[in-house]
Amino acid sequence: MHIANYSRRTKAVFLLAFVFFASAIIRLLYIQFFRASYLDEIAAKQHNYFLELEPRRGTIYDRNLKPQAVNLPCDSVFAAPLEMKEGDKEKAVSQLAAVLKLDAGSLRKKLSKKKSFVWIARKVSQGQADDLRMRNIKGIGFVKESKRCYPNSYLASQIIGFAGLDNVGLEGLELYYNRHLKGSPGRAMVLRDAHSTKLDIYGNTEPPQDGSDVVLTIDEMIQYIAERELDKAFRSSRSRGGSIVVMDPKTGQILAMASRPSFDSNMYRGVSKDQMRNRSVCDMFEPGSVFKIVTAAAVLEEGKLREQDRIFCENGEWHIGRRTLHDHTAHGSLTFQEVIENSSNIGTCKAAMTLGPATLYKYVKLFGFGSKSGIAIPGEVSGMVRNLSQWSGSSMTAVPMGQEVGVTALQLASALSAIANGGTLMQPYITMEIRDRSGKIEKSYAPVPVHTVISSQTAARVRKILVGVVENGTGKLAKSKDFTAGGKTGTAQKIENGTYSHSKFMASFIGFAPAEDPQVVIAVVLDEPRGGYYGGVISAPVFKNVAGDVLKYLKNRQDIPAGENEITSAY
């Protein structure tokens, strides 16, 4: 009996041992064949980690390769709370708060986290980084990054926009071309020892792909001239806002574009949407008398009137249907040319009636109104031109003089360019090229004719009338002894609570120069100027000053030998 019990216990022990070793072998085989890669990965993470390598964001240049947006190297500050004792943390809080001007409470909260990495401050100044390095604060380290910088601060800020903390475009061309500018990050494997100390040994490096550069049609000097003069008028007239567009009428290239109020692209935090808005493409307004260029061109192209045909302007007051039209100055009989020169509302509407609604509507659309231009700027609006079926009985006494339509400053510049260049509507564009870092052109942009609006003969006749506006009519303050010019004034009542205001106006002037061979078209719009509010008084002098300096600058550039024609920034 005793021997039998001993035999059973021995077998049980051997069985248990067998089961244990069999289980161990099965477990080992399972780990070897099914869990090996997972465990290798855990081990690798203990000794290796991947560091993202930041790409260089592409530079934005003006047409003369003057940088408008660049990336500069900088330092970001981090902490390793797990490596810091309480005394180290308190010392770090006091010194970090002093150097970086940060709240001590928020710093303590960050350092109390049980983490091996927390950001303290991103992209600090060089002085702050140097100060912190000298203090040698335990648990505080630095990461090399790059910071977007705008060397001309306010200049062209609404065009260029800005990129955020992570070098991602947020506004303007920085946003529009972000996929070209941002590049692709790389990565490198960094080795560390059992104490998680970085050994500065790199492997499996994938270099970052730098972003492409963008070259604009904007000319830094012309941009400066335009902004300088717009700013003077904006401040002196105490306007609510303002915009200016300088355009090459032959190609559609935008040489300058600006809005007021403005902002510094380097300091975009806290800036209002009103300051960021590119009014030249985002703001729609009733144009008033500058729109009479459409009526004049249509009437001449259709052969309904000649320049010397006379129109009775009702001595300044005309009752038609339920509406009464007024002229700012009473006129009797005027030639059609004098109607445009003196900006007679009555004469213009009588001339338009020889066309009829369908023909007038056709030319409004041909000149590009009611449609987006397709320019590479975020936020462009199409303006407003109602379908012909929606015109009322009074539309033919409103549309010809710039009421019941909504336009942008860019559309006005484009429409006048069609007259200045001989009758072709050109697509406005603001980008010349996209280049890789080596300078190789990835994409280039060329002038694009949209369609013919009027014949070259009609365009020449309209130009002559618009020269008369400057020489003899409402645009005399645009006249210069240094160059010839043509243009049209506009003073439009703003709509307030469903009716036309008698105290809020849009003052505008659109013009080209020199008259014999237009090199530039300029559109100037001031929103709610105080005091004087006529476009011929407020906006025409801005055109005169900008055109004068731009033409001198362009002439000087032509006189400089090829290869030496780079300009010196005015900033």
Beta-bridged to residue 492, according to DSSP, are: 506
Chain centroid, CA 298 distance in Å: 33
What is the rounded distance in angstroms from the CA atom of residue 510 to the CA atom of residue 414? Answer: 10
* Nearest Cα to Cα of residue 211 among 58, 380, 412, 33: 58
Q: Token digits for 522?
A: 């300029």
Q: How many CA atoms lie within 13 A of 26 on its CB side?
A: 6
Length of the chain: 571
Centre a 10 Å sphere on the Cβ of residue 319 and count the other Cβ atoms it contains. Answer: 9
Active site residue: 289, 343, 417, 539, which one? 289
Q: Where are the beta strands (DSSP E) in 339-448?
A: 384-385, 405-406, 424-426, 431-435, 441-444
At residue 537, the pLDDT reads: 95
Task: Kindly indicate whether the domain formed by 53-100+115-216 is annotated with CATH number 3.40.50.970.
Answer: no
> In whole angstroms, what is the distance from residue 88 CA to residue 220 CA?
51
Alpha carbons 408 and 404: distance in angstroms, whole number:
14
- Two tokens at 352? 């338009």
- What is the model's pTM? 0.83
If the chain, 571 residues long, is cut into consecutive pieces of 10 residues, what is the mean pLDDT of each piece? 63 70 69 61 53 83 96 86 84 86 87 83 87 87 85 95 89 95 77 49 68 96 98 96 97 97 92 93 96 98 97 94 90 96 96 96 97 95 96 93 96 98 98 92 96 98 98 96 97 88 93 97 96 92 98 84 42 28
What three-state secondary structure class fits 237?
coil
What is the rounded (10 degree) CA torsion for 231, 235, 239, 245? -10
User: Taking the domains of the chain in order of start, what are their residue ranges?
Assistant: 53-100+115-216, 220-263+279-435+443-559
CATH of domain 220-263+279-435+443-559: 3.40.710.10
289 is catalytic: yes
d(CA 496, CA 548): 37
Residue 571 has a pLDDT of 28
